[in-house]
Amino acid sequence: MKKEKSIFDRYMERRNILIKNRNVLQSSFIPDQLPHRSDQIGKIVEILAPSLNKDKPSNILIYGKTGTGKTAVLNYIGKELKKADPDELNCSFVYINCEVVDTPSGILYNISNQIITEYNRKIPFTGWALDKIYYELSNYIDEKNKIFIIVLDEIDRSFKKNGDDIFYFLTTMNEKLKTSRVSIIGITNNSKFTEFLSTKIKSRLGEEKIVFNPYTSFELQDILYDRAKDVFDPNVLDPAVIPYCAALAAQDSGDARKALDFLRIAADIAERNGDSVITEAHVNFAREKIEFDAVIEVMNTITNQSKAVLMSIIRNFENGNNKMTTGDVYTTYRDICAIINIPALTQRRIAGLISELDMLGIIHAQVKSLGRNGRTKEFSLNINQDVTERFMKDQLFEPLFSYKPSKQMTLM
DNA sequence: CGTCCACTGGAATCAAGGGTCT
DNA sequence: AGACCCTTGATTCCAGTGGACG
């Protein structure tokens, strides 16, 4: 078959010159072996093994910072479990990420729809009372007469917003079940997580505890080499690159996801540039790009109100006010709202939105007491010029700039 | 040393918007 | 169509507070 010419041709040719299998460099990829995690895997397997004989394993609580392999290990174990019991006669493995779905009904809905295969018994996305979902779910589970292992990743997310009701649901479900059993694996990156749980749930959830320590720079190197060997031809990778990626990520909390991102994006950049060798310079570009993209991503997802708040902060900042208070921002905010024509919210709400921006890392805030002059949050902008400029181009702020007197005089 | 400011942080509540069920 | 249910974003109310000032 003869291929016609296309404007994409030059990109097709270039594709996959440096990177043979892009998938492998994604952090979501599950390799056949996970370096430096055999201890944890061993422990978990030991705990879960009884499930293959329809005996209920203990609940497990797993601690570890982001990118320490918790998710990868659990997915790996899920795969292995499936290998050992291909038809899921004795146990089923369910994985939920509570960061993605963080509402009680969202979590129950997700669990249900992974477990329930019959079409006519599926639980609707919304509209049902929690009690009802719970009732249907536990009935269904009990009919199956087997062990359900439910992994709740980023469990603290959901908790922060909704308290421990669902955990109560799930951990007490066994009391109502006649034949089946449910066991919960909670994953959290907050080591103080259990402090906030009620004592009953604390003891139930934490029957076993496993800790994932951050990877060291050397361990990260192993991980990267392990993946790189299938991805790059020899000599494509400058020998300094992997140690550099590892070192950067290790500095920053030993996050394997980050290390992989550095490597992948660096390779992408090199490939797109038409360079034949990936070097440290590419990694540095990658690092900037990642940071930039992350902030842009956040900015695209926040609501108009949050944008207006952020704009007020930027305005204050530009006017040389780098120790602004909530009150300062609120006055600017009201002005801006009037100009861009959106309703102004209460100060209480704005204080909340500011806290959210703080949590997203866009601004840096600190509660300060000004003595007689009250107590407030004092904060500063945490993003660079590029991002700010991009942000201000948002069409929401169109009116804000168009009314500006044209200062453009004679061009010289 | 006590006061008292300008907020913070938490909770209760409402309205709107997604939906199901009968 | 009307009764219910959950989520989200916003409002309202209230108790609490660090520390400069008097």
The confidence band for A409, taking pLDDT boundaries of 50, 70 and 90, is: very low
Say how far A103 CA is from B12 C1', in Å: 20
Is residue A287 over pLDDT 90?
A: yes
A329 closest-nt by C1' vs CA: B7
Whether A376 sits with its Cβ under 7 A from any strand B atom: the answer reads: yes
> What six digits make up the tokens of A48?
């879960």
Determine the protein residue whose CA lies at the shortest distance from the C1' of B5. A374
- Per-residue pLDDT of A360-399, as tens digits, reads 888 998 898 988 888 999 888 888 888 888 888 888 888 8
Whether A348 sits with its Cβ under 7 A from any strand C atom: the answer reads: yes
A125 closest-nt by C1' vs CA: B19
Average pLDDT for chain A: 88
Give the residue-averaged pLDDT of A208-226.
94
Is residue A126 over pLDDT 70?
A: yes
Determine contact, residues A366/A379, Cβ cutoff 8 Å: yes
Determine the protein residue whose CA lies at the shortest distance from the C1' of C20. A371
A131 closest-nt by C1' vs CA: C5
Determine the protein residue whose CA lies at the shortest distance from the C1' of C10. A349
Place of tokens 């994932």: A212
Q: Determine which helix (DSSP H) or strand (DSSP E) holds A342, and give its type and residue range.
A: none
Say how far A393 CA is from B20 C1', in Å: 42
* b/e sequence A1-23, b meaning 16+ C-beta within 10 Å: eeeeeeeeeeeeeeeeebbeeee
**Alpha carbons A228 and A18: distance in angstroms, whole number:** 11
Coil, helix or strand for A38?
helix
Chain C, protein-covered positions (CB within 7 A): 4-14, 16-21
pLDDT at A184: 94
pLDDT at A408: 44
Among A10-19, A50-59, A78-87, the range scoring the smallest mean pLDDT is: A10-19
The confidence band for A73, taking pLDDT boundaries of 50, 70 and 90, is: very high
pLDDT at A407: 44
- Per-residue pLDDT of A74-123, as tens digits, reads 999 999 999 999 999 999 999 999 988 889 999 999 999 999 988 888 89
Say how far A259 CA is from C2 C1', in Å: 56
Please choose, from the candidates A202, A304, A333, A231, the residue with its C-alpha nearest in 3D space to the C-alpha of residue A19.
A231
Return the top range by mean pLDDT from A23-27, A92-96, A233-237.
Answer: A92-96
Say how far A199 CA is from C19 C1', in Å: 37
> Helices H, strands E: what count in chain A?
18, 7
pLDDT at A232: 86
Say how far A187 CA is from C4 C1', in Å: 34
Say how far A168 CA is from B9 C1', in Å: 26
* b/e sequence A145-178, b meaning 16+ C-beta within 10 Å: ebbbbbbbbbbbbbbeebebebbbbbbebbeebe
Among A6-20, A28-42, A102-116, A295-309, the range scoring the smallest mean pLDDT is: A6-20
CB atoms within 10 A of CB A256: 27
Whether A343 sits with its Cβ under 7 A from any strand B atom: the answer reads: no
Whether A355 sits with its Cβ under 7 A from any strand B atom: the answer reads: yes
- Per-residue pLDDT of A250-286, as tens digits, reads 988 889 999 999 999 999 999 888 888 899 999 999 9
Coil, helix or strand for A394?
coil
Whether A374 sits with its Cβ under 7 A from any strand B atom: the answer reads: yes
Chain B, protein-covered positions (CB within 7 A): 3-11, 18-21
Is residue A10 over pLDDT 80?
A: no
CB atoms within 10 A of CB A328: 19
Give the residue-averaged pLDDT of A317-330.
87
A126 closest-nt by C1' vs CA: B19
- Per-residue pLDDT of A345-356, as tens digits, reads 999 999 999 999
Is residue A337 over pLDDT 50?
A: yes
* b/e sequence A99-124, b meaning 16+ C-beta within 10 Å: eebbebbbbbbbbbeebbeeeeeebe
Determine the protein residue whose CA lies at the shortest distance from the C1' of C17. A375
Say how far A110 CA is from C5 C1', in Å: 18
Place of tokens 């078959």: A1
List C-alpha distances in Å: A186 to A27, A63, A167, A182: 21, 9, 10, 13
